[in-house]
Amino acid sequence: MDTIRLVDLEVIYHVGVPDLERATPQRLLVSIDLLRPFQEAADADDLTRTIDYYAVSRRLLGFGEGRSWKLIEKLAEDIAGRLLEEFKPDHVRVEIKKFILHETRYVSVEIQRSR
């Protein structure tokens, strides 16, 4: 299976269990792997036969508008579901990094889902 990877896309979303934390948007890093064969797209040199990673990045940058999540686990599920539905990869991996614990570089969750 072939992979398109977006690594550490910086997004600003409202996320956090306490209302106070969720009230202010915070910086997260989102990494995505989209798995789907793209030999046909490569042979034809045709963007319409693959996944447009620019469109994926724009979707993720705007994904948090007017929304909030308590858990980054739920956010990861929502992102995976949207990407599977809209961009039709066979498999998606989503990692979300949150910078909330001062004693760590980051806390992250990672999920993998398939169609």
The model's pLDDT over 39-82, given as tens digits with 9 standing for 90+, comes to 999 999 999 999 999 999 999 999 999 999 999 999 999 999 99
Domain residue limits at 93 = 3-114
**What is the domain count for the chain?**
1
pLDDT for the residue 87: 98
pLDDT tops 90 at residue 31: yes
Q: Please list, in sequence order, all residues whose beta carbon lies within 8 angstroms of the beta carbon of residue 34, skipping any fewer than 6 positions away.
A: 3, 4, 5, 51, 53, 56, 83, 87, 89, 91, 92
Q: What is the CATH number of the domain that holds 11?
A: 3.30.1130.10
Whether residue 14 contacts residue 23, with contact meaning beta carbons closer than 8 Å, is answered with yes
pLDDT for the residue 61: 98
pLDDT for the residue 1: 85
Q: Sorting pLDDT into bands at 50, 70 and 90, what band is 3?
A: very high
Q: What would the two tokens of residue 71 be?
A: 């858990």
